[in-house]
Structures are given as C-alpha cells and as structure tokens.
Structure 1
Amino acid sequence: MQPINTAICSFGMSGWVFHAPFITAHPGFNFYGVWERTKNLAQEKYPSVKTFRTLEEMLADENIELVVVNTPNVTHYDYVKQALLAGKHVVCEKPFTVEVSEAEELIALAAEKNLKLSVFQNRRYDSDYKTIKSVLDQKLLGNIVEAEFHFDRYKEEISPKAHKEVPMKGTGALYDLGSHLIDQALQLFGKPTAVFADIAIIRPVSLVDDYFEILLYYPSSRVRIKGSYQVREALPGYVLHGSKGSFIKPKTDMQEAQLQAHMLPTDVAYGIEPESENGLLHTEADGKIINEKIPSLTGNYTAYYEGIYQAIRNNAPLPVTAEQGTDVIRIIEAAFKSNDEKRVITL
C-alpha cells in the first residue's frame, strides 16, 4: 500500500477533529503537511508533520498528492482552484462553494486536469443518518409521504470564529448546518421539484441567519429541513412518516463529541450511540403491528477517507462527488431566492 501524502489547509477544529484523526488512522494516508501561518499546533500533536507558512509554499511541494481545503467557506473556490492548478487531488469541506457557478468551474477544471475532487459531507456517516437510511432501504415504512430533519442548537452568544459571523454570502446557519441536512435529503429522496424557504436572524446578537426552515417539494411527498440556534430542548432529529408507519430518531451521533475528547476512531467505543437514543419504529409488517426501538448503526467518518483512498489509488467512485456538493449549493441558492421573494421556487 502506497500511502497518499496529504496536506491540510488549516488546523483549527475542522483540522484536528474531523480530518487529522482519520488521515492518521488510515494506513492508506500519510499526514504529510499543514498550512499554519504562525502556530505549530499540528506539529505538537503530530511531530512528523511538515508545517508550511503559506499556501503557495505548500502547493509547491511535489510530494503532496491530496490537499484538504478546510478553511472559511468564502475561500473554498480560490483554494480548491489553486490546489487543482498545482496538480493536487482535493477534498473540500462543506459547503463546497458559495455559488453554483464557482462549483461548476471547479468541476470542469478537475476533469481537465484528471484529478479527484470530493466534498466532505461527513454527516452521511453519522450513526443517526445511517440508521434512518437503513430503515428506508428496508422499506419498513412503505411509501414516504412526509419527512422532517432538524439540526438545532442552543447558543445565546455568537461564534468565537469571526469568519462565521460576518454578514456576507456563504456565512450563516443555512450554509453551515443546512448543507448537512440538504445533502442527506438529496441522498435519500433525490432532487426536489421546488423549494420554499423561511430564513431569519432570531438572536439580537447575530448578524447572520441563525434560523431556517426549508420545504422541499416532491411529486408525492414533502421534506422539511429545519435549524435554529434557539432550541434548548431539541426535537427529534429525524421524523419519517410513510404509508405503513413512522420512524422517529433523536439526532445523537457521538463522533464530534468523542473526537473533541480526543478519542481515536480506532477505539472500540467510537461512533456507538447509547441505547437510550435508539429510534422508535411504529409500522406494520405481515399483518402485525410493530412498535419497538431500533438499535442505531455505528457512525464512522473513516469510511469517507477509505472511499477517497480507493478513488485515488484504484479509480473507484468518489464517496461524495463534486456534483453532489454542487446540488446542495443549488438548493441553498434557491432557498435564499425563495426567502427574498416570498414564493415557491421551481427547480
């Protein structure tokens, strides 16, 4: 196995929580380098990593094959483009770009350079999402008529990450949290025919949207995705209703908290939810009513990086394509247009 020399564009929370642990745990990758302008945080944790002070210096290193762009949303387009022009494969944090036109340009450039370009939609590998996907794949609910996904938090204060609080395109809860829920909805139900949205600032201290409700229209069903920073007592993360029954699941993936507590993805307890958070299945099968808790599947973001390894080394399909990342941005753009014009936007 020839490890893929990988460099990360920053070593804030995204770098040390969501990327470095999986790059170092997977034998197919070598955590080769990191871009840190002044600090040496990565080197303190991973002594063999090489620290670069500028992006240009990092991209000039011919030993690097893969670059992870995990910087503020507004920089994604520029940094991904520079990495592709330097001949590097790229993993880009969600949201892929701020605008669809930027995403389409990057897709064309990656194809021209014959390079792999993927979007880190890691929430596809959450335990809660994997569980509801399994329920749907087994057709336990019949034909889905209604679904509602929540990604709520309770935060009275604004984020200490200044780049998330600047009122500009690409910031706010819809780009941040909504991009996860939209991606999950698209994976489960496909592309909707229309979008209606209500997006707002509900905290006096906030300058960017911290509340959203998006209604996705499908020919025979409706899917709502909601997020708010003023929810102290959270509703279920996933509510699914079908022609045969319902499934209600708390949003309880453990990975982010475990990683922040420095648990390694190789730990036997990693990604496992407590039984108390199991989802409730109420349906009918073979003429019998079923009303029982369903054990949650184990979450593991390692699967994403395994997919990246196979795509680069064995030309397997990417775990998340840039086109799929673009579809998320297309929905976000339609949602903002719907909110501004107070009408349903046909796709």
Structure 2
Amino acid sequence: MSGPIKCSILGAGLSLQAFHYPFIATYPDLFTLHSVLERSATASKSSARDFTGLEGLKVVNTLEEVTGDDEVELVVISTPNLSHFEYAKKCLSAGKHVLIEKPLTPTYAEAIELIDLAKEKNLILAPFQNRRWDADFLAAKGLLKEEKLGQLLEFVSRFDRFRPQAVPNTWKEAPGQLNDAIYNLGSHLIDQALVLFGKPEKVGGWCYNLRAPEGLDDSFLLHLYYPRSHPLSKPYPLLVTLQASIINPGSKQLRYQIKGNKGLYTKYGLDVQEATLRKVDWNTGLPEDVTPVGKDGWGVEADGAEGELELVKEDGSWETVK
C-alpha cells in the first residue's frame, strides 16, 4: 500500500454517517473514502454522496463492483447481521482487508472460518469495537488499573433504553434475522468485559422480549462468573453483570456500578461521541457546538455528567470524588 488506504463502505446509513466516514475524513493522510455500496442509488441520487459532499465519490449497487475493483484495499461491512459472513468471505477471497460492524458473524463457526481465511490470505480481519474508546469505559479501565476500589467484588455494565414502541421499517427490528440485543449492544458489553477481565469461568443468562414484534429478543441479562484467584478480585469471587433493557424507565440510566472492598464507582448516561456525530452534517460542516474529532475537547462530557467515586477512608468514613 502507498498513500492513504482506499476504503469502501457497504451501506449508506447510520454506520457510514456516524461511525465510519467522520473518522476517515478526520485522518486523510491515513484513509480515503473510495466508494460506497448503496443498492438504491442512481446516477443522480445518492444519500452517501449527499451526506459526504464528495462529488467524486464512487457509488455502486452491487458487492461485485467492490470486490472486483483493484483500487479498493479495505472494505467496511455495515450491512445486516446475516450478510456479514457471506460479504466478508467474498471480500477476503478477493484480497481485501475487512472491518465488520459487530457482531463479526452470528455464529462461532462462521467467525472461525473467516479468521482462518484471513490468515491464509495474510489479510486483516477485525470487528469494529468502537466502544473500547468510550470515555466511561476508559475511566472504568483506569480505575481498575490504579486499584482505586481495592479488590473487586461486583462489576455491573448496562446499556438501557426506554423505547416502548418498536421502530417500523428497519432491519434491526426484524424478527428471525439474528438482530437480537445480545448481538447488538451485547457485542459491546461482552467485548468490554473480556478486555477488562478475560474469559470467565462460567456464564449464565437470559435473552427475552419486552415488546412486539415476537421473535426478537430486545433485552438480555448475562452473568459472568470469575474465580477467587482472579488478580483483580483475589481473594473474593467476582460477579460481572451485563444487561440491556429496551424498556427501562427513568431520566437517569445506569451505565456502570463497580464495587470493591475499598470503594464504589457509579456512572450514569452514555458516552457522548455517538450522539455528537449524529448531529453532524459533513456536507454543510460542523455545528458551532461540536469539537472536531481528534481535537482537544472531543468526546468530553458536560459538567455534572461525570461518574462518582466513593472511597472508604482509614477511619471508616466515606469520601466522595467526582
């Protein structure tokens, strides 16, 4: 490769607009958006071209136009979950590096087949685990590294919503398509737990439906059990709870609750990066209240949104730290 990596994005929806193009545009020395697969696009109408403002953007209607293009080096797959394996296999077979929106694939066997193929072709295959760079996750990671809470007892990580009504006409709400919450938000929560604690000793859980349509589990609860020998909890057993509920009332939604033998960390609300990027129209420019990606102040929460750390002092009293 020479010069910026030429990227093709499969899909022209939210993933293009809020998760991929902003970062490609931010680092032009490293990446350039070469093309977008947008099946409904025509020569005169393209939502990808309208959003990016790139008049020379190549917009195609078929995957074959991407895999057969020698200029494309990296393919970003942001299509429905059931297409991930097929599309990734075709792209890897064509010699393209592949980045896939979570989940990598719906099944373990498919993931292993893609990993083996990428190794055989000497190509990069990676899931897009962007939540590893959320400010709240990095704060929790830092607390554990610094052992601020002492030895851990319990770790709770949640991604909750209050959406009593299903969203119509979207593949993410279609039953029977492996779009369940465990594949969606669960991919982030599980990945974060594995980054922090490694593989658990035992796993228990429940996937369930709180609203129509039937056949789509929009909520889940997972318990990951770690032994007393785990370095972050020794000599205590460690329970990690991961949960997402689509109907969770309340103006404040719990994100983290981390308990140790020397303190408690509590955080409400979600990282602000996604919400910020959803406000940006890259064709017309950044709103005045949006800090450019990668600049000082990017992703910084408003005052009052930070987590609260409660530490026990030597005399047994408690100290609260924002």
Structure 1 length normalisation: TM-score?
A: 0.80
- Indicate whether 1:277 and 2:279 are aligned: no
Instruction: Report the equivalent of 1:42.
Output: 48
Residue 80 (structure 1) shift = 0.7
- Indicate whether 1:89 and 2:69 are aligned: no
Moved over 6 A (4+): 285-288
What residue identity is the alignment partner of 1:278? E
SS of 1:71's equivalent in the other structure is: coil
SS of 1:174's equivalent in the other structure is: coil
SS of 2:194's equivalent in the other structure is: helix
Instruction: Report the equivalent of 2:286.
Output: none
Residue 155 (structure 1) shift = 0.8
After TM superposition, list the pairs within 5 Å mapping 1:99-118 onto structure 2: 99-118=107-126
What residue identity is the alignment partner of 1:28? L
Spell out, residue by residue over 1:237-283, the C-alpha distance to the aligned partner (whole angstroms, 9 max, x if none).
00001121111111331111110100542565431101211111112
The answer to whether the 8 A contact 1:80-1:90 is kept is: yes
Pairing partner for 1:33 from 25, 32, 35: 35
Structure 2 length normalisation: TM-score?
A: 0.86
Residue 169 (structure 1) shift = 5.2
Mapped partners of 2:137, 2:167: distance in 1? 26
Mapped partners of 1:64, 1:286: distance in 2? 60
Moved more, 188-197 or 110-119: 188-197
Gapped regions of structure 2 (runs ≥ 5): 228-236, 281-289
Spell out, residue by residue over 1:279-309, the C-alpha distance to the aligned partner (whole angstroms, 9 max, x if none).
1111247778662334xxxxxxxxxxxxxxx
Higher relative contact order (CA 8 A, sep 6+): 1
SS of 1:276's equivalent in the other structure is: coil
Moved more, 17-26 or 246-255: 246-255
Matched residues, percent identical?
Answer: 39
What residue identity is the alignment partner of 2:306? N
What residue identity is the alignment partner of 1:42? A
- Indicate whether 1:227 and 2:233 are aligned: no
When Rg is computed on C-alpha atoms for both structures, the one with the higher figure is 2
Instruction: Report the equivalent of 1:18.
Output: 19
Instruction: Report the equivalent of 2:256.
Output: 238
Mapped partners of 1:197, 1:169: distance in 2? 21
Mapped partners of 2:211, 2:220: distance in 1? 13
Number of positions where the alignment pairs a residue of Structure 1 with one of Structure 2: 294
Instruction: Report the equivalent of 2:231.
Output: none
Residue 53 (structure 1) shift = 1.3
Mapped partners of 2:191, 2:240: distance in 1? 12
Pairing partner for 2:278 from 260, 267, 270: 260
Residue 127 (structure 1) shift = 1.0
User: Kindly tell me: are residues 287 and 122 of structure 1, through their superposed partners in 2, closer, same or farther at Cα, counting changes over 3 Å?
Assistant: farther
Instruction: Report the equivalent of 2:269.
Output: 251
Instruction: Report the equivalent of 1:140.
Output: 148
After TM superposition, list the pairs within 5 Å mapping 1:90-239 onto structure 2: 90-168=98-176, 170-219=178-227, 220-233=237-250, 234-239=252-257
What residue identity is the alignment partner of 2:264? S
The answer to whether the 8 A contact 2:166-2:212 is kept is: no
User: Kindly tell me: are residues 291 and 206 of structure 1, through their superposed partners in 2, closer, same or farther at Cα, counting changes over 3 Å?
Assistant: farther
Mapped partners of 2:69, 2:278: distance in 1? 30
SS of 2:184's equivalent in the other structure is: helix
SS of 1:226's equivalent in the other structure is: strand
Gapped regions of structure 1 (runs ≥ 5): 295-347
Residue 171 (structure 1) shift = 1.2
Residue 106 (structure 1) shift = 0.2
The answer to whether the 8 A contact 2:148-2:262 is kept is: yes
